[in-house]
Amino acid sequence: MSPGPGSRIRRTLLAGLVAAAVVLPVSAAASPRIPAPAPAVQSESATPQSRYAAALAGMAEAARAAEGAGHGGRALRLRAMARPGAQFLAFDGRGQGRAVEVFGDLGTADRVAVLVPGSDTNLDTYERFREGALALQRRLRAGHPHTAVVAWLGYDTPGTVSTTVLTADRADRAAAELGPFLRRLRASTPAGARISLLCHSYGSVVCARTRTGPGVSDMALYGSPGTGAASAADLPTAARVWAGRGAGDWIGGVPHVRLGGVGFGTDPVDPAFGARPFAAGAAGHSDYLKPGTESLDSLARIVLGPEVPHA
């Protein structure tokens, strides 16, 4: 019996989702499972400084383990990450790897941005993620000295060329990690500090599932494939929700549908979603945090808020 028109439409839409994930430019292949020691357990009361020291020690051990297992490239990248003055709140060198790096002084910052990355971000592609965090921190400091940026690679991101990027499974697991992290981060910053979540690509799916609590003032979704929610009001946050997309971002061509748990539904930049729009200029999918771009300026303004004059 031949399939009905409804079945053909569903298959066409799903095929479009898969094609968008497979044929569009990708940044990295999946990381091999590289051996590394488990990270040292830190108490809830551990200071940022003690966490920084423990993470750098863990990086040195992971670099030695990677080199011993014949993964010299990973060892070199880990040693580059552990540059003098680096501040990592957390590090895990196993598999794809996880790392949470701080730029600035959390103890004095009254404006804190937490970057949540999208697919194909791991220890082997970390430098690109770090460059964006540094560019944002420099832009923020141009307008206000008491700022910090946290590059939160706290989950196993999906591969761009994979079926995992089409569902929320990894986002659900990541949200369960991000929510408690935000509460701990709040305890490390001055009273009244504003924390903003800046969520790129699949990271916007993570943020949309995270119970942020009252400590997060703003959530910005950019390069987003959707969130799985029909509207900003459905997200588990009291933060102001923003959305932007650059004119050069290929993800605008991804079908914004959700069928059987595949896909992420309403486009966050659609007025029907109800997010506050921000200008992203001509940004391509990986360009939102590049120095000198309109998108970087817009994201910095969201973090700083209207109370801070903008440089």
CA–CA separation, 124 and 146 (whole Å): 31
Measured between alpha carbons, how far is residue 290 from residues 149, 242, 282 in Å? 15, 19, 11
Structure confidence at residue 223 (pLDDT): 96
CA–CA separation, 239 and 172 (whole Å): 19
CA–CA separation, 142 and 229 (whole Å): 35
218: β partners = 196, 240
What would the pLDDT profile of 51-109 be if each residue is shown by its tens digit? 999 999 999 999 999 999 999 999 999 999 999 999 999 999 998 999 999 999 999 99
Structure confidence at residue 108 (pLDDT): 96
Structure confidence at residue 66 (pLDDT): 95
CA–CA separation, 187 and 271 (whole Å): 35
Cβ neighbours around 23 below 10 Å, total: 10
Cα 25–chain centre separation: 19
Instruction: Classify residue 71 by its DSSP letter.
Output: -
pLDDT band at 263 (very low <50, low <70, confident <90, very high): low
Which range is least confidently modeled, 158-172, 187-201, 210-224? 158-172
Q: Classify 198 as helix, strand or coil.
A: strand
Structure confidence at residue 16 (pLDDT): 45
Positive/negative CA dihedral, 256, 161, 246, 148 = positive
Cβ pair 298, 280 in contact under 8 A: yes
Q: Classify 212 as helix, strand or coil.
A: coil
Query: Comparing 27 with 296, which gets the higher pLDDT?
Result: 296
Residue 45 has pLDDT above 70, yes or no: yes
What integer is the mean pLDDT of 247-266?
A: 81
CA–CA separation, 158 and 164 (whole Å): 6
Query: Comparing 137 with 16, which gets the higher pLDDT?
Result: 137
What integer is the mean pLDDT of 1-11?
A: 44
Cα 121–chain centre separation: 9
pTM to 2 decimal places: 0.88
pLDDT band at 309 (very low <50, low <70, confident <90, very high): low
Positive/negative CA dihedral, 56, 60, 65, 70 = positive
Residue with tokens 């309109």: 294
What would the pLDDT profile of 129-159 be if each residue is shown by its tens digit? 999 999 999 999 998 999 999 999 999 999 8
Written as six digits, the tokens of 140 are 């923020």
Structure confidence at residue 166 (pLDDT): 73
Average confidence score pLDDT of the chain: 88
Half-sphere exposure in the Cβ direction for 168 (13 Å, CA): 22
E-only strand ranges, the chain:
88-92, 98-104, 111-116, 147-153, 194-200, 216-222, 240-244, 258-259, 262-263, 276-277
What integer is the mean pLDDT of 209-215?
A: 93
Q: What is the DSSP string of 213-277?
A: -TTEEEEEEES----SSSSGGGSS--SEEEEE--TB-GGGGS---EETTEE--S-TTSGGG-PEE
CA–CA separation, 247 and 282 (whole Å): 5
Query: Comparing 219 with 214, which gets the higher pLDDT?
Result: 219
The alpha carbons of the chain give a radius of gyration, in whole angstroms, of 19
Structure confidence at residue 207 (pLDDT): 98
251: nearest Cα among 271, 232, 226: 226
Structure confidence at residue 167 (pLDDT): 82
